[in-house]
Amino acid sequence: SLTGNPFAESSTGQNEIGFYTGIKHQIKKKHIFSAYADFFQFQWLRFRMYQPNSGWDALVRYQYVLNKKTNFTFQYRTEEKPRTSSQEDITYLIDIIKKQQMMMSMQHQASDNWKFQTRIQFTQVNNPQIQKGIALAQDVSYKHQSITIHYRYCIFDISDFDARQYIVERDVWSSASLPVLNGQGSRSYLLLQYKYNRALSFWIRYTHTFLKNVDEIGSGLEATMGNTRNEIKFQVMVNF
């Protein structure tokens, strides 16, 4: 299909050959194991690659359900892929990029109203220098009748963009937020949802970002002078 959107390593799937396999197994509802392996090969040139190339990606995930209110998750992912060297004095040299990622999280439903989640994730990249990145996030959720509140505070320390971190954030209805965490700093947000009745709902979201040792956040038209950025979103939904 000329307009197909296949499951692939690249965004288009053009000139790509690959093999993917995955497994999931559950033992007595308390132990959940899942894993996958993905092998891919490109038979022609592509972005940041000046020759045919191949690579692989694998992930292992284990979830332990302590009880109905508490569960733990452990995840390890590793990948290896070639990339044209970024060294200025060398042309057409290929570096093998090796990336390892680890994630641990705990989720606890303290009561009908309160829910807590702690998450830590770490990345190490050989490109060919070793770069590291770590992020720690604490989530608190509160729900009472028609009011729902979500709060997160996250700190991070990233030595290079290749070791950047991603953690999905809650946002207003029908909107997604997946910010790039790079450098040293912190990021927090507060999301308030109020359902007045079946026809009328409100959302308001405040986000604060702090970066250490920078004079500007973002680039182009989205650049903000200084090392802090504040964002506010407000949304109203009316159902007819």
Non-local CB neighbours of 181 within 8 Å, separated by 6+ positions: 133, 135, 154, 156, 158, 164, 165, 166, 167, 187
Q: What is the per-residue pLDDT for 91? A: 63
The answer on pLDDT for 1 being more than 60 is: no
Contact, 15 vs 40, CB < 8 A?
Answer: no
Spacing of C-alpha 117 from chain mean position: 16
Q: What is the chain's mean pLDDT, rounded? A: 90
Q: How do beta strands 147-158 and 216-217 pair?
A: unpaired
Q: Is the pLDDT of residue 8 over 80?
A: no
- Write out pLDDT tens, residues 152-211: 999 999 999 999 999 999 999 988 899 999 999 999 999 999 999 989 999 999 999 999
Give the largest CA-CA distance in the chain: 65
Q: Of 92 and 40, which is predicted with more confidence?
A: 40
The pLDDT score that the predictor gives to residue 103 is: 97
pLDDT (0 to 100) of residue 4: 66
Cα–Cα distances in Å, from 38 out to 94, 115, 212? Answer: 21, 35, 37
Q: Give 42-81 pLDDT, tens digit per residue.
A: 888 777 677 788 889 999 999 999 999 999 999 999 999 8
In this model, does residue 21 exceed pLDDT 70? yes
Average pLDDT over residues 6-21: 79
Report d(CA 234, CA 228) in Å as an integer: 20
Identify the weakest region by mean pLDDT among 10-14, 19-23, 235-239. Answer: 10-14
Tokens of 130: 């070793």
What does the pLDDT read at residue 3?
63
3 state SS of 163: helix
Closest CA to 64 of 114, 28, 111, 24: 28
Alpha carbon separation from 173 to 95, 146, 152, 167, 204 (Å, rounded): 42, 15, 18, 18, 10
* 76-131 pLDDT per residue, tens: 999 998 887 766 666 667 788 899 999 999 999 999 999 999 999 999 999 778 99
Stronger pLDDT, 238 or 91, i.e. the higher one = 238
pLDDT reported for residue 217: 85
Reported in sequence order, the residue ranges of the chain that DSSP labels E, i.e. its strands, are 16-27, 31-42, 53-65, 70-84, 94-109, 114-126, 130-144, 147-158, 165-166, 180-181, 184-195, 200-211, 216-217, 224-225, 228-238
Give me 23's structure tokens: 């497994």
Taken as a whole, the chain contains a residue count of 240
Separation CA 226–CA 218 (nearest Å): 10
